[in-house]
Amino acid sequence: MHCGSLPCYGSSSPSSPGCPRQEDDLRAGLLLEQAAHCLLALQPPHVRKFAFHLVLAGLRYDMCAQRSLAHRVYRRGLVAVRRGGSDLVEQQYRVLQHA
């Protein structure tokens, strides 16, 4: 099956926003979230890297208009870094709330 025959791919060009770009962002967010959970399984757990990967996943989810997923990963990262003192996730969560 040729991708051009699908309605999603038919009129999309690499420079215009469309389904392929959103799918890439969604897939990237999912992979970043999975990588974050792998960082928690290490001994010792890498909590700050976990939170940073969740921020990156949240940004990818936000880029493809998946606000509920972005909120979910930001909240999870926020809980993790509140213990560590980093405010990166907190800043991103505030930006997302005001958008």
Reported as a single tens digit per residue, the pLDDT across 13-39 is: 444 455 678 788 899 999 999 999 898
Total domain count, the chain? 1
Range of the domain at 61: 3-98
User: Which has the higher per-residue pLDDT, 89 or 36?
Assistant: 36
User: Which has the higher per-residue pLDDT, 97 or 44?
Assistant: 44
What b-and-e string marks burial along 29-50, b requiring 16 or more CB atoms within 10 Å of the CB?
beebbeebeebeeeeeebbbeb
**Whole-number pLDDT of residue 11:** 44
Per the CB < 8 A criterion, the answer to whether 75 and 93 are in contact is yes
Give every CB contact of residue 80 below 8 A, 6+ residues apart in sequence. Answer: 47, 50, 51, 54, 89
| pLDDT tens column, 44-62 | 888 888 888 998 999 999 8
- Is the model's pLDDT at 67 over the cut of 80? yes
CB atoms within 10 A of CB 59: 19
Mean pLDDT of 62-84: 84
